[in-house]
Amino acid sequence: MRIHPTAVIDPRARLADDVEIGPYVVVEGEVEFGGGCVVGAFCRFEGPVTIAEGNRFVSHASIGAPPQDLKFKGAPTRLEIGPSNVFREFVNLHRGTPGGGGVTRIGGQGLYMIGAHIAHDCQVGDHVIFANNGTLAGHVHVGDYVTVGALTAIHQFCNVGEHAFIGGGTIATKDILPFMKTVGSRPARCFGPNTVGLERRGFSEDRIRALKAAWRFLHSAKLTTTEALARIAAELGDAPDAMRLLEFIKASERGVILANG
């Protein structure tokens, strides 16, 4: 274990033997670091926080701060972070609230660029990318392999489906479709399948072709959303990704972002 002499480490913290702690780091409360974690200068951790192995915090990150919720009165809530993420400068991750289940969860193998913000009670999947100042309000669920563009803000209680690509500067007040590219300010618009990202992740031509077909139904000016969903169910029932898209739309409580916002 290598701890810089200027770091302040709470005796309640638990650090694996090979953790590295840089200058002027502050660790308060019950914070657990897994093996191989590296913490750069000026980061602050406020427990209870559990951090799995292999995470890297570059500098000035705020990890496990109390939620920005006026109803929060200091109840014991948590932040849980999966393995092998990179958190760049000024990233902040907040603990949960009692009303939201008490736990904010971050998956593994993610990249969180400068100023990314994950608010209380969010549930974030694996292999995500948050570009600079990508922001989640409270209670947002983000699936695996999602890319959140720079300066994007996602409204509280929204769901972001897996493999979604959200373009920079998007203001999302409804759910974001899985597998699709969604871009825009108010109102945000969906521009069809996230083809490049899906190809990079090994999606076959057949899978992408089915998603494009589903999008044509959803995007058709001749069909209502209800009619489009019926066509997807009838004509793409053997395509699991299309069925996942259908399931996501039917389960949405806030409505989903389509071409018309």
Per the residue annotation, which of 47, 96, 108, 138 is the catalytic one?
Answer: 138
Active site residue 22: no
Active site residue 29: no
Can you tell me the distance from the alpha carbon of 106 to that of 226, in angstroms, rounded to the nearest whole number?
Answer: 34
Active site residue 238: no
Per the residue annotation, which of 121, 126, 175, 241 is the catalytic one?
Answer: 121
Per the residue annotation, which of 60, 94, 117, 120 is the catalytic one?
Answer: 120
Can you tell me the distance from the alpha carbon of 222 to that of 232, in angstroms, rounded to the nearest whole number?
Answer: 14
Active site residues: 120-121, 138
